[in-house]
Amino acid sequence: QQQVKQSPQSLIVQKGGIPIINCAYENTAFDYFPWYQQFPGKGPALLIAIRPDVSEKKEGRFTISFNKSAKQFSLHIMDSQPGDSATYFCAASLMNRDDKIIFGKGTRLHILP
């Protein structure tokens, strides 16, 4: 059973556009929802994360929207740049239990110059 479902699998956006990546989770006990950015040959790097007690979090050009009742959350990238081209993973975890991170399948994002 896939605990974190991510879509789309791949995404192509023109420079300056706003790519949106969506995720849905099953376990209502999850209390930590991070997004990771991964470049080829590198480990994932934390981009932004949200806890379920807020509906939105913004850091620079990256925004997470969180809908607890729908068990969904999404990543928006404002004013996207070619350097944002990477694979993005949403994830979920039980932070207070120091628990493992459950990853979505990833979205390969390509920003056209």
Partner 1 sequence: GAVVSQHPSWVICKSGTSVKIECRSLDFQATTMFWYRQFPKQSLMLMATSNEGSKATYEQGVEKDKFLINHASLTLSTLTVTSAHPEDSSFYICSPRTGNTEAFFGQGTRLTVV
The footprint of partner 1 (CB under 8 A) covers 32, 34, 36, 41-46, 49, 89, 93, 95-96, 98, 100-101, 103-106, 108
Q: CB of residue 32 vs partner 1: minimum separation in angstroms?
A: 8
CB-nearer residue toward partner 1: 80 or 107: 107
Name which of 96, 57, 61 is nearest 73 in CA terms.
57
What's the sign of the alpha-carbon dihedral 100, 105, 110, 111?
negative
Distances (CA, A) of 15 to 21, 62, 89, 96, 104: 16, 15, 21, 38, 25
CB-nearer residue toward partner 1: 41 or 83: 41
CB-nearer residue toward partner 1: 19 or 34: 34
